[in-house]
Structures are given as structure tokens and as C-alpha cells.
Structure 1
Amino acid sequence: MDIRQVFGDNLRRFRTQAGLSQEAVAERMGVDRAYVSSMERGQQNVTLLTLWHTAQALGVKPVDLLDEDFAAAGDSDVPEGSSPS
């Protein structure tokens, strides 16, 4: 799977599990809602800094957003050791 899609799928899953809208995540990151939407669709080649800000906005570790197994699992639980807030 393309790493951009892995990131996007994980972003969407953590965001919804945290009960956050795209707009709320965008506000926490200081970006536009459309940018969050395009990241979720795998259309953005994000920088390390964006990866960090996304993780901070969701209350997860940056590595959690790159977990291919979690992305492929669909609606699985949050990986052990992660706690979206």
C-alpha cells in the first residue's frame, strides 16, 4: 500500500476514534480543513514536520500514523500503547 494512503487511513481512523472533525484537527494543526481532507485521501506527500503536528493534534505517536497493519485492518481498535485524546 502507498505510504501516503497508509498515513491517510490512519489519520482518518484516529481522528474519528477521537471524535474529532477534520476542521477540529485542522485547527489544532494550524492548517485548512481541505488540507486534512487531502491528507486523508492520500493526496499529500507530507513532511516530517506535518507528520509530527498531525500526531500531536491527535494525541498519538508519529509512528502510529505510519502503521501499515493498522491501516489495512479497517475498523480495528487503536494499537496498544496509543491513546488518542
Structure 2
Amino acid sequence: MADHPDLISHLKDYRQQAGLTQAQLAKRVSVSRKTINTIENGVFVPTTVLALKLARALDCRVEDLFALRDEA
């Protein structure tokens, strides 16, 4: 699994806690399931707009979903 060197993603944890599949979350934020998968696996860093949409869809803050490695 690829991993972005600076970013930690908690997206998968929050998505699973919400009881959503990748496809369901993708539909809520108008992206493909593959986009959700690549974010969860650290391959793709979401744009600010997408990060905000994900946080809204999961009823949390962007900071809950993503953190810089040096802050973890």
C-alpha cells in the first residue's frame, strides 16, 4: 500500500463507524469509489473542497479525518 509521507488519513475509520461503504460515501460527495479508496490508502491527498465535503458527510471536522504526520 502506498502512503503519503506527510498525511495520515482516518477516513476509513470514520466511514466504517458511519456504516457506509466506499461507494455510498463516494456518492454523498460526488466522487468515484476509487477516489475514496485512494484517499483511504494514502495514494491521493484530497483537495480542500473534497476534504470539507467528506467531513460534512461524516459529521466530523476535517482535522478528525486528516492529520500531518508530525502532529500524530
| Same fold per superposition (TM over 0.5) | yes
Name stretches of at least 5 consecutive residues in structure 2 with no aligned partner.
none
**2 CA distance for matches of 1:50 and 1:14?**
15
The structure 1 segments of at least 4 consecutive aligned residues displaced by more than 4 Å after TM superposition are: none
Matches within 5 A, 1:6-85: 6-7=8-9, 10-67=10-67
- Number of aligned positions between the proteins: 66
Encode CA deviations 1:31-74: one digit per residue, 9 max, x unaligned: 11011001100011211111101111111111111246xxx7xx
Report the TM-score when normalising by structure 1: 0.69
1:2 aligns with 2:6: yes
Higher relative contact order (CA 8 A, sep 6+): 2
Name stretches of at least 5 consecutive residues in structure 1 with no aligned partner.
73-85
TM-align CA RMSD: 1.8
More strand by percentage? 2
Identity percentage over the alignment?
A: 32
